[in-house]
Chains A and B, each alone.
Chain A
Amino acid sequence: MRRPNPVDPRLAHLLRSARLDRRGFLRSLGLGGGVLLGGGALSACGIGGGSGGEGGSGATTGTPTGTSGATGTGTQAAGGELNFSNWTLYIDVDEEDQNVRPTLQQFTEETGIAVNYFEDINANDEYFAKIRNQLDAGEDIGRDLIVLTDWMAGRLVEFGWLSEIDQTNVPNISNLRSALQDVPFDRERRLSLPWQSGMTGIGYNPEIIGREIAGVNDLFDPDLAGQVTFLSEMRDTMGLMLAAEGIDPSTHEFSQYEAAIERLREAVDSGQVRAFTGNDYAADLAAGNIGAAIAWSGDVIQSQFENPDIQFVLPAEGAMLWSDNMLIPANAQNKANAEAFMNFVYQPEIAAQIAAWVNYITPVEGAQEAIAEIDPELAENELIFPSAETLDNTFDFKVLDEEEERTYQELFQSVIGA
C-alpha cells in the first residue's frame, strides 16, 4: 500500500531531494503526478519565495478541500470550519482518490466541522517569513491550526504569538507519550501538541564505504573524505556534533558550541564534509555520490524501499529527537474547532491511520497496538515506534532566544558557506 508507481528511481530521488523539509516525497509521484514534478518541487524548495510556495501547492492541494457543507459561526465546536496548514504529504490520503483524506473526512463526519486543508508549509523559515508581519501586527493569519518544528514553535511561544490550548477541550491529551510531555520551550504543553516526531541519525551505504558506522565520530575517518554530507539545519548537525563529544545539546555551554563549530569548520576546509544539504542527501546516497550522511529517519525508511543497502544508525553517543507541533496562532477565528481536531487525532486509531501513511513517529500512546492491525510489520519498526531505551538516548536542542539564535546561526552559516 505504500509502494509508489514505478518511476525512474533517479528522478524520484532528485525530486525528493528538491525538498528542504523532511517529509517523504516518493508517494507524491503516485499521487500528485506532473503537477508536483513542476510547481510542487519548485515551491517545496522555497526558491522563488513565498509566492512560489503558494502557487505550487495550490495546484494540487492548496485549494481548500472542505469535506462537508456544514456551516456555523465563530468559535463553536459544533459545526463551523477549521483552517489547517500543514506540510506537504503529512497526512493520510486515500489510495483511490488523492483528494480524499480519510482522517479529515472522518473528523468532519463526526463533528460537522468542515476542514479547509492547506499544504502550504514547506520550510519553517519560509513559513515564518510569510506569517510574521501579520502576527506581529496582532492580526489573524487566516489559519486556526499550523504545524511547525520544535525550535520554530519555541520562537512563536517566545514572541507570544500563540493561543493557549484549552485542555478541557482536549481530553485525549492524556494519550501523549510521556517522553514528549515536557519540552523545554513549552513546559506543560499549554501551547503546543506534537503532530509527528522523528529522529536525526546517520544514513549510510556499507557497500560504498566498506565499513560500519557507529557514530558521528566515524564520519571524520580520513578514508571517507569527500563522501560525507551533513544537514543544513543547524540544530540537527550541531546537536549531533555536540553529542559526539559527550555533551548534552539540551544543556551545553556556548563555548562548547564554538569548539564544535571549529571542529566542523576544519572538516569542511579539509574537504572531509562534501556539502550541507536539505534532504538532497537521499539522492546522493542512492546514486553513490556519497557514502554517509546525517539523515532523518523518515527519509531513510522511504529510501530503503528503493535501495535496501542503505542503513540508518542512531549514533551510539545519542541521536536528536524532534517533533512537529500543532499550534493555534493568536487571534485564530476557530480556536475551539482546532482543539476539537487535536482531540480527534489523539485517538490511538486515528493516530495509527496517519502514522501508517506518513512513516514518522506518532506521539500518541496506544497507536502501536492500533497499527498492528493495519500493518504488523510497521508496528515492529524501531524508527516508527522506537523503544524506551532508544528514546532515552535522544536529545533535543537547547532553547535559544532571538539574540542567541542569531549568534548561533551566524557561526553555523559561516561554516556552511552562507
Chain B
Amino acid sequence: MTAHSLHPETWVDRYADYLYNYTITRLGDEELAKDLVQETFIAGLESAPKFKGNAAERTWLTAILKRKIIDQYRKANSKKGKAEVRMNFSENADRDEDWLEAMAADPDSIRENDSIENVELGLAIQDCIAGLPEKQARVFEMKTMLGMETEDICKELDISPSNLWVIVHRARSALMSCLNDNWFR
C-alpha cells in the first residue's frame, strides 16, 4: 500500500462539502456545521506532523471531525447546556393561532423521514464519488450536481465531447456498482 500524504491547500475544494454534509446529518445545524468543518481543517493542519500516512486524507479528517461532533454532544448534555432553553418554533410562530397545529406531526405523512434519508443518500453518493479517479469525479460533479453544459465542461477541462462522455460513462458505471444495492431497490 502506498503511504498517503497531506495536501492542505486542496482540502477545502476536495473535502469541505463532504465534511459539511457529514456534520449536518449528525447535528442538523448549518451554522454549527460550518464552524466545525473550519475547526477540523485548522486542527488537521496543526496535527499534520503526527499524520502517519496509513489512512487516506479524508478518513483522517473525518476522524478529527467525529471527535469534534462528540464534544458538541457532550457540551449540549452538560449541566450548563441543559440549562439553556432551546425552543424551535416554526417560522410562522408569530401568526399566533396555528403554531401548535403546525408543530404537530402529520399522522398521514409517509414523507417524514425523507429529508434525513436524502441527506444520507447524498453522503453515500459523495462517498462513492470520492472513490473515483479525480478527473472522473470532477466531470461527474460538474455534469450531474452542478448541471453544467457539456460544452462548458469541455472548455474548462480542455477535453473533447466524446472524451467527456467516456469519462461520464466510467464514472456512472463505477457509481452504480459502488452504491449499495439497497439504494437501487
Q: Does A associate with B in a complex?
A: no
B residues near A (Cβ < 8 Å) are none
